[in-house]
Structures are given as C-alpha cells and as structure tokens.
Structure 1
Amino acid sequence: MPYPSYAKLTDEDVKSLYDFFMHQVPAAHVPNKPNEIRAIFSLRWPLAVWDWIFVKNGAFTPDPKHDAAWNRGAYLVEGLGHCSACHTPRGIAFQEKALDSTNSTFLSGASLDGWSATSLRGEMRTGLGPWSHADLVSFLKTGHNRFGSAFGSMTDVINNSTPYLNDADIDAMATYIKSLPANEMQQPHAYDNATTEVVQKLHVGNVGATVYAGRCATCHGQDGKGYAPFMPPVAGNPTVMDNDPESLINLVLNGSVPLVVKGTPDAYRMPQFRVTLGDDEIAEVVNFIRTGWGNKASMVTADDVAKLRKSTDPTSDNVIILKMR
C-alpha cells in the first residue's frame, strides 16, 4: 500500500475518493481471506516508528518556481500515481529513498519483484532522455511508443490507470517527468548495423545470433528496429541497455501478459521461452541483444538466468512474480 505517496493527497481528493467508494462502488459479498502474516509481524507499533522516520506528513505543496501544468504533473506522479513505489530505489528498511524531485534518487530506477523499473529521469541510454513529450504521452495512454512497450508491473498501470486520465493530466505528468534531469551523463545511443549482418549471415558458433534469428527477428526485426509502436525495437531500447538486465532476462524467460487499454486487448505480446531455451541459450541471446546494434550494455551469465528462472518459477511456492492472469 503506497500510502507514503498518498499522504500528498489534498483533503478534497481524499473526500472524493471516500464518496466514490461509499456511494458508487456496489457492495459485494466476498468472505475475507485468512491472515497470512505471522503473529510477530502483525504488531502495529513498529509501523508508527517507521512512519515517523520515513513518511512526510502534509498534502502536496505547489512549487512557485514552476507553472500550473508542472505542479499538476508533480502532484499526480508523486502522489496519486505513486510512480516512486517502483521506480525509486529502496533503503534497508524498504523505504523509498526519495519521495519528490528535490532528491536526485527520485525515480532513478529500482529492482523490484524480478523486474528492473528503469530510470524515469533524463539519462540518454538508460533513462527517458531520448523520449519526446509526445513519446511519453503515447506510452501513458497506450503502453506503446517508438522506444518500447509496457511489461511486468507496468502492465497493471496501463490496463487500469493512466489511459483513463484526461488529456490535460497525462500532458501534465509528461511535463513533470521530462523535467527531471539525468543523474549520469551518457552518450546517446548510436545505431550500428554490423549486428544486422551477423543475424543475416548466421555465423557458425554464434549461439546468440542463431537464437535471435530463429526466435526474435520476426517481431523485433533482423535490424533490431522492431515494428513500432506495437513490436518494440531492441536497438536503443532503455530496457535493453539498462544497467540491471533483470527485466530483459525476465521477459525472455516468462514473456509478457497482454495490454488491455480501455477494454481493447493488444494483438501482440512477448512469448515465454523458459521451456524451449536453456539458461546458456537465454544468456547468449540476451548478451547478443545487449551488446548489438550499438547498445553496448554489460554482459549476463547463465547463473543470472538460472537465479531468475528459479525465483519466477510458477510451480514454486517461493515465486517472486509471474503474472499470468
């Protein structure tokens, strides 16, 4: 429950939510589920201490240095949208290390539940630096743009949240997010077509190229440029170039669930390869993608794949995340 973000809500919006839940959401007879929290963790007083240390009280205060659109976007991103819950690193007490734009850690990317939520700041390779305002608006409305598609936990946001906002609010969110500066100066992605030639020629012994040509190129193109906006590129994609390869490995292992925008399901989705490809093969194709077409990202190992395979095993009691709804 992201209440540290909801603490920023105005009294008027809290009242509106209360009226909606009490008067517009119909009652449903559903028995309560048994409490799965062990007794020692049911004590409430430690939470009061946690709140005192980490939660800021008081509603959002507009920043007079910015215009109305920026402040509206800040209110939605920092508060109701609770984007920080996934995209901001957490500390030793599982607290978000920052709750607003006054701290450069805010929305700088984080690992959570088997996914890497990429930076929403202005980095040119691993963030949203190359995205235009229109690109961000498109992503919030549809889950797609010329750089990528929503996946993992972001699927819930697209399926249930941001497409239902009005145009002014989506525009305000994009205005605010695009104002966040980069934490790291990075050279922009420079496309290199040499990888395309490797895919086309299928050099003997290049396992990554062979797997890519047979399993990936149909949707993402032999040139890595994809077929935007519905089949995203792997060349220049911030998820591919992320310092944390977790999301890319997870997508290859487990695929993605469909995006359903206002009741209309997406016609395309990433299939899973956890059954048909071994850890070595997945590591090889992930490395081929992360180092190809000018991406120049770090390498992964078969052990990295094996760990994520185990933690996302849908038959395991210890599964972290594999949303198959």
Structure 2
Amino acid sequence: MKNMLKGLGAALCVALPFLAQAPAGAATPAAAGAADQALVQRGAYLAQLGDCAACHTAPKGKPFAGGLPMNTPMGRIYVTNITPDAQTGIGGYTEADFARALREGVAKDGHNLYPAMPYPSYAKVNDGDVKALYAFFMHGVAPVQQANRESDIKWPLNMRWPLMFWNMAFLEKGPYRDKPGKDVAWNRGAYLVQGLGHCGSCHTPRGVGFQESALDESGSAFLSGALLDGWFASNLTGEHNTGLGRWSDEDLRTFLKTGANRHASAFGAMTSVINNSTQALNDQDVAAVSKYLKSLPPVGGNGAPAYTYDPQATKVSLDRPANDAGARVYTAYCMHCHGVDGRGFAPMLAPLAGNPNVLAKDASSLINVTLNGTGDLVINGVPSPFPMPGFAAVLDDKQIADVLSFVRAGWNNGAPAVAAAEVAKLRQSTQAGR
C-alpha cells in the first residue's frame, strides 16, 4: 500500500522533482534509436508499481509533464516534467543520469533533489529495472514541452546543498539483496514494498531529520503508521486492531486490487495509489506483496484488547438518539450507508465497526474524510458508485467531533474521543485554497 507522500516530512509517499531541465543543445538519448519494445513494456509496468503518474501528472495535465503542487513544511514545491522533451523534460538524460536521479537524488546538473522524491526507497531498485524504466520514459512516453516551475520555498530554506549531508546521514545506497532463509515470493514482496512501492514513505514514522525511522523490517517502526498532510497512513504490520492482523491473505490481495474489502476502504492519497498503481499488479506480485506484509510482526496499536464486535450498547443509543449528540448526527447523515450495526455494506460501503482506521489512536483520517470526502476509486475504468461525500459545508466542528466520538466508541471500537478543536484545525488546513 503505498501511499502517495505529499511533502517533505509531512507527505513523502509519492515521487517528486526528480529531474532537472536539460540544457539547450544537449544530446537527446530519446532519439537514439528504437527501443526494445518488450523492455519498454516492462518499464511501463514498473512505472505503475512506482506510482510515478500520481505525482508527475497534474489533474487534467498531460502524462508525466509535471506541474502538480505539493505542500511541505518549508513551502510548496511543484512536480517536474519527466517526459522525454529535450528542453523541459528529461530528453537529455543518459541512463546513468537517470539512475543517479532515481537512486541517489542527484539531478543531471548536479543539484540535489528534495526527498519528497522517494529516492531512499528507489535506491533499492536493481539495475535491470532501472534500465527498463529508462527505456519506458525515453521511448514509451510522449514528449511534452512544459517548463518546470520554481518552488515557493523562500531563501535560505530553498538551498539544496545541505541535502548532501542529509544523504550522507540517511541514504542507504545499493539495490535490494535477497534475504537468506526467505523464499522467492517473500523476497519479491520485500523488494516491491521497500523499493518501487516506497510504502515506507507514507506508512513509516519520520525522525527529527524527516527521515524514515526504518527502511525495512529490521526496524521496529517500519510501516507502523504515520501522520502526513492531514491523513494518518495506516499501520501495515500484524497488529490486531489497527494493523493487518485480522486481515487474511485474500483480504489484503482484494484491497490491493480494488481498494476495498470487508475491513476497510481506501481514502485520501491511498485512492490514487489504488487507481494508478496497485490494481495493475499482476497476480504473482500481488501475492508476493501480501506475503511480505503479512509476515511483519505486530507493532504499535491503540493499547486496547483485541477487538471483538458488540453492537448492543450502540443499538441502544441509536434507538434513543435524542440522548446522544453523536447518535443524532449519525442517524441523520451516516446510518443509511454505514448501518445501525456499523458494518456498512462492504466492500461497496465501508464498515465502521472494527475498521482499523477507526481504531487508530490518531483520528486525522476520520476527521479529514468526514470534512472533505474522498476521490473515486476507479477500478478497470469504472468509478466507485458510492464515494464518501464531504460534510464540511453541512456539519460544524462540534457536530463532526460528536459523531466521530460516537463512531470511535460504538460497536465496541473503544477508541479515544475526538475534540472539536481537532476538527477546526484540520478544517482550516485542508480547506485553505479550496
């Protein structure tokens, strides 16, 4: 599960400025002859695994031409053009230039890239896959002449040279090496999750330098969940309540292919990951990713006993909603989709009872999706018929806090209440500029 990173430290789950403008008159490897079409096709598949389109294609923009704005703690940056245009894209990049940008975060002209481009993950991509990706971007993508836009980050924070020291401290060079004692499928899953999938960019907590606290399963924080850009990227370890502990292998494979299962539905940046990336995984790779993720030991969680469903107390509240402010909001706005029993109509309409996102200690995702809704899941070209609508214009901060507190307590969920101040804070940050 990847997720999509939306800014240095605050949202680092998607690929960002990865390439610089080619100098005028530079050689154009894109015109160097017909590429091996099988290699180009393989590169196209790998680009989907890396979810490159999610960042490098702006809404209503041309494929991979850049321009997507991304917020960081330092200011806004804009995704670059990675089409093979010689002047504004990467048409002047050799394969070595491409590999260095992808795996080391250094552009053709030598400047360092912001680690919003998840090169610490892409460092694990092997030489064969780099070659295929290069073939795709040079010969499988239409060139688009679209100038790159400078970031809004102010001096001195916009200086790039300190990133050299960041790389020295946090970048682990070298492609993924198979772990002894693990089978082929496990190692393939580890390679995809840690490398092109860059799942840790969103789902692993960050340290004081905005670095991922762990880059693989050897670190206890790896994929244990993290807050970024107003969303809490879920725990992907075997934790029973907030992670994947109750998910079967089939549950996880279904989620990767469709964005929904009997436990939860995708929202926020994960919607883009499903739409642009994981639904394209072949069956062998889906099975490998699932096997690897299901092997991770439980980490994190909400400290509560293992979840068991109990509807009785919640049913009493819903029978007498006048006595409970949250129940009143739920019966008016939520119950027709999510049900009296809290089980929704999965996978079409998400369950709330036992949903790992409901049980998480951090309620940011619940607040955000209630305020702003979520985009359509589009599977095999067909949009989901029941996307979550936003209620920012309908419900005030207290009403949203009340209903989410009701949901987090209901059906034996046992999660902490939500304060109106939390809702107000996310309303302000997510509604700005809308």
Q: Which residue of 2 aligns with 1:268?
A: 386
TM-fit CA distance, 1:240: 0.3
Letter in 1 for 2:254: S
Letter in 1 for 2:233: A
Q: Which residue of 2 aligns with 1:297?
A: 415
Question: Mapping of 1:2-81 within 5 angstroms?
Answer: 2-81=118-197
Question: Mapping of 1:186-201 within 5 angstroms?
Answer: 187-201=305-319
Deviates more, 1:4-13 or 1:28-37: 28-37
Contact 1:198–1:209, Cα closer than 8 Å, also in 2 = no
Q: Find 1:161's aligned residue among 255, 269, 277.
A: 277
Residue by residue, what CA displacement relative to the aligned partner does 1:241-285 show, whole Å, maximum 9, x if unpaired? Answer: 001011011111111111112322111111111111111111110
Contact 1:148–1:237, Cα closer than 8 Å, also in 2 = yes
Q: Which residue of 1 aligns with 2:262?
A: 146
TM-fit CA distance, 1:41: 3.2
Deviates more, 1:147-156 or 1:196-205: 196-205
SS of the residue 1:232 aligns to: coil
TM-fit CA distance, 1:3: 0.4
SS of the residue 1:304 aligns to: helix
TM-fit CA distance, 1:198: 2.9
SS of the residue 1:204 aligns to: helix
Cα distance between partner residues in 1 of 2:433 and 2:140: 39
Cα distance between partner residues in 1 of 2:258 and 2:378: 9
SS of the residue 1:312 aligns to: helix
Letter in 2 for 1:150: A
Cα distance between partner residues in 1 of 2:399 and 2:380: 37
Q: Find 2:212's aligned residue among 65, 76, 96.
A: 96
**Structure 1: runs of 5 or more not aligned:** 317-325
Aligned residues: 316
Q: Structure 1 residue 278 and structure 2 residue 412: aligned?
A: no
Q: 1:280–1:79: structure 2 CA closer, same or farther, 3 Å change rule?
A: same
Letter in 1 for 2:174: G
Runs of 4+ in structure 1 off by over 6 angstroms are none
Cα distance between partner residues in 1 of 2:334 and 2:259: 20
Cα distance between partner residues in 2 of 1:8 and 1:99: 10
Contact 1:164–1:262, Cα closer than 8 Å, also in 2 = no
TM-fit CA distance, 1:186: 5.4
SS of the residue 2:323 aligns to: coil
Deviates more, 1:258-267 or 1:86-95: 258-267
Cα distance between partner residues in 1 of 2:323 and 2:394: 19
Q: Which residue of 2 aligns with 1:309?
A: 427
Q: Find 2:366's aligned residue among 244, 248, 263.
A: 248
Letter in 2 for 1:113: D
Contact 2:321–2:331, Cα closer than 8 Å, also in 1 = no
Contact 2:237–2:243, Cα closer than 8 Å, also in 1 = yes
TM-fit CA distance, 1:159: 0.8
**Structure 2: runs of 5 or more not aligned:** 1-116
Cα distance between partner residues in 2 of 1:183 and 1:160: 29
SS of the residue 1:40 aligns to: coil
Q: Which residue of 2 aligns with 1:234?
A: 352
Residue by residue, what CA displacement relative to the aligned partner does 1:49-93 show, whole Å, maximum 9, x if unpaired? Answer: 101100101000100121000000000000000000100000111
Contact 2:317–2:327, Cα closer than 8 Å, also in 1 = yes
SS of the residue 2:227 aligns to: strand
Cα distance between partner residues in 2 of 1:9 and 1:190: 41
Q: 1:209–1:35: structure 2 CA closer, same or farther, 3 Å change rule?
A: closer
Q: Which residue of 1 aligns with 2:406?
A: 288
Cα distance between partner residues in 2 of 1:35 and 1:242: 34
Cα distance between partner residues in 2 of 1:156 and 1:149: 13
Q: Which residue of 2 aligns with 1:320?
A: none
Deviates more, 1:22-31 or 1:242-251: 22-31
State percent identity of aligned pairs. Answer: 52
SS of the residue 1:19 aligns to: helix
TM-fit CA distance, 1:104: 1.0
Contact 1:108–1:121, Cα closer than 8 Å, also in 2 = yes
Cα distance between partner residues in 1 of 2:371 and 2:288: 36
Contact 1:283–1:302, Cα closer than 8 Å, also in 2 = yes
What TM-score does the superposition give when structure 2 sets the normalisation length? 0.71
Contact 2:304–2:414, Cα closer than 8 Å, also in 1 = no
Contact 2:398–2:420, Cα closer than 8 Å, also in 1 = yes
Cα distance between partner residues in 2 of 1:152 and 1:314: 17
Cα distance between partner residues in 1 of 2:309 and 2:148: 54
Cα distance between partner residues in 1 of 2:212 and 2:385: 36
